[in-house]
Amino acid sequence: MSERLAVRKTYKLWIGGAFVRSESGRYDRAGDFNIPRGSRKDVRDAVAAARKAFPSWAARTAYNRGQILYRAAEALESRAADLGEPREVEQAIDVLVHYAGWTDKIAPVLGGVNPVAAPFLSFSLPEPTGVVGVVAPDEPPLLGLVAEIAPALAAGNTVVAILSDSGPLNGLDMAEALGVSDFPGGVVNLLSGRRSELAPALGAHRDLNAIVDASGDAGLGERLDVLAAETVKRVVRVPAGSDAVEDSLRRLEGLTELKTAWHPVGA
């Protein structure tokens, strides 16, 4: 009797709340797994899904967004054994819980009444930036991804993330955990493939409002700066080794807009 061949697992991209095959049909092999190689068309589909999901996600209460982030942490906890190095997984879960606690604190910390020397009442309210692109670092593959998408989601943004070039498996496994969490379709979109191909396509997309570059690639960073300037979008560069918990306020500020209103006193 011949030896049985195991069924090779084929991962899929996570776009619009569904697992989809790459439009290109291309795959890379990593050990016993097939990894989808996303294309520019997949980037466009992911941004369209994120844009569609943005209004309802931004309109949710801070309390509800915090509940959903906490549920995502629970989902990761339940899949911890499949997600890679145990300590890194624990830290990623802790980051999600941390930003779940930030959701209802963003408004009082970043907004408030402004002191002005005039007969006016001036106050500022934080609002999400919109659709945020994330270029995740190679290392650590899971924690590095979570550290960049959690602040964006806590602030009410939707996300399109390009996974680690060298270790996409952790992010694809995370997508399977998110599939049983409470995130509405399109709020989080995860793409694997060649960073050199996907990141410029994401940075050039005119329906993207900001991009977080945690790649550590100076050449790619310069190219994203040029593309962002052409399409008037914000670039947030994450220094290597920065702590997502200790650096919470800066990360949240980078993906939040402040709307300031003036009102005549006594009018």
3-state secondary structure of 205: coil
- Assigned domain for 99 exists: yes
CATH of the domain at 153: 3.40.605.10
Q: Which residues pair with 237 in a beta bridge?
A: 213
> In terms of residue numbers, what domain contains 105?
9-264
The answer for residues whose C-beta is within 8 angstroms of residue 136's C-beta and 6 or more apart is 144, 145, 148, 161, 162, 163, 164, 171, 214, 215
- Assigned domain for 146 exists: yes
3-state secondary structure of 244: coil
Does the model's pTM come out above 0.85?
yes
**Helix or strand (DSSP H, E) at 144:** helix 141-154
- Assigned domain for 1 exists: no
**Rounded to a whole number, what is the largest CA-CA distance in the chain?**
91
Judge whether 138 and 166 are in contact, CB under 8 Å: yes
- Assigned domain for 3 exists: no
Q: Of 238, 242, 79, give the one whose Cα is nearest residue 172.
A: 79
Count of the separate structural domains present in the chain: 1
User: Residue 99 has what pLDDT?
Assistant: 97
* pLDDT tens digit at each of 267 positions of the chain: 678 777 788 999 999 999 999 988 999 887 789 999 999 999 999 999 999 999 999 999 999 999 999 999 999 999 898 888 999 999 999 999 999 999 999 998 988 777 777 777 777 888 999 999 999 999 999 999 999 999 999 999 999 999 999 889 999 999 999 988 889 999 999 999 999 999 999 999 999 999 999 999 999 999 999 999 999 999 999 987 789 999 999 999 999 998 878 778 765
- Assigned domain for 95 exists: yes
Label residue 165 left, alpha or beta by phi (over 0 means left) and psi (-120 to 50 means alpha): alpha
- Assigned domain for 78 exists: yes
3-state secondary structure of 119: coil
Judge whether 132 and 211 are in contact, CB under 8 Å: yes
Q: Of 132, 184, 225, 249, give the one whose Cα is nearest residue 17.
A: 184
Q: What is the DSSP letter of 80?
A: G
Q: What is the DSSP letter of 1?
A: -
